[in-house]
Amino acid sequence: MALIEVKNVIKTYATGEAAFNALNNVSLSIDNGEFVAIMGTSGSGKSTFMNMLGTLDKPNSGSYYLDGIDVLNLDSESLSEIRNVKLGFVFQGFNLISRTSALDNVELPMIYRGIDEETRHKKAKEALKIVGLEHRENHMPNQMSGGQQQRVAIARAIVNDAPIILADEPTGNLDTRTSIEVMEFFCNLNEKHGKTIVLVTHEPDIAEYCKRVVKFKDGNIISDEVKRK
């Protein structure tokens, strides 16, 4: 069974009297351990698709099974639980709490799960060590570079041991050298820690790090290339 299974998904948006399909009968399967780039120009449907994978939006029709769970028929509380347990999110803008230390930022998903303080500290420190920031745990976001902030965000995404990381333009605010560093951490998480990663990007050089590239255009998948296992 695929870890992510999307079948015949249609997402329609109304604009005044007109309507258009942001996703037009899209089907896609992603297996455990894959590293997939989702590419396309603005308006191609890639962001709508990513929001649906993250259970932040629902299609008008079709099906979506996440690790065997029919997520489209879950209530909001169950969806929140799924997001917290199954998914880790990394965003272009880092989305860190500004007046909170790196350690506390990483602990946040565990607070939502009601995990005790001692366990939170231990797991957050382990996650920061994985991304090479064990020496920065008490620093605030404004005391760190953009690349370091994104690595804190990656640590936060993995701290609950979620099997899937959804990364939306994670290098969009970074320079070339820092982008390479961040992508190397994603590769490490995929290859050494077994994380399944779905990454939205419009940059071909970033997609080169991924093992599979899916391209969207006008709400359709126009190509799906496996580059390497």
Its pTM surpasses 0.85: yes
Is the model's pLDDT at 17 over the cut of 80?
Answer: no
Q: Write down the pLDDT at residue 199.
A: 96
Q: Write down the pLDDT at residue 229.
A: 65
* Contact status, residue 153 vs residue 94, Cβ threshold 8 Å: yes
Q: Write down the pLDDT at residue 14.
A: 82
**Gap between the Cα atoms of 112 and 108, Å rounded:** 7
* Contact status, residue 82 vs residue 55, Cβ threshold 8 Å: yes
99 CB-contact burial (10 Å; exposed 0-12 / middle 13-18 / buried 19+): exposed
Query: What three-state secondary structure class fits 214?
Result: strand
Q: For 91-138, how does the pLDDT look when each residue is reduced to its tens digit (9 = 90+)? A: 888 889 988 999 999 999 898 888 899 999 999 999 999 999 999 999
First CA to last CA distance, the chain: 18
**Gap between the Cα atoms of 49 and 123, Å rounded:** 31
Q: Write down the pLDDT at residue 104.
A: 94
Lowest mean pLDDT of 24-28, 94-98, 220-224, name the range.
94-98
Query: What three-state secondary structure class fits 96?
Result: coil
* Fold observed for domain 34-50+76-226: Rossmann fold (3.40.50)
**Domain spans of the chain?**
34-50+76-226
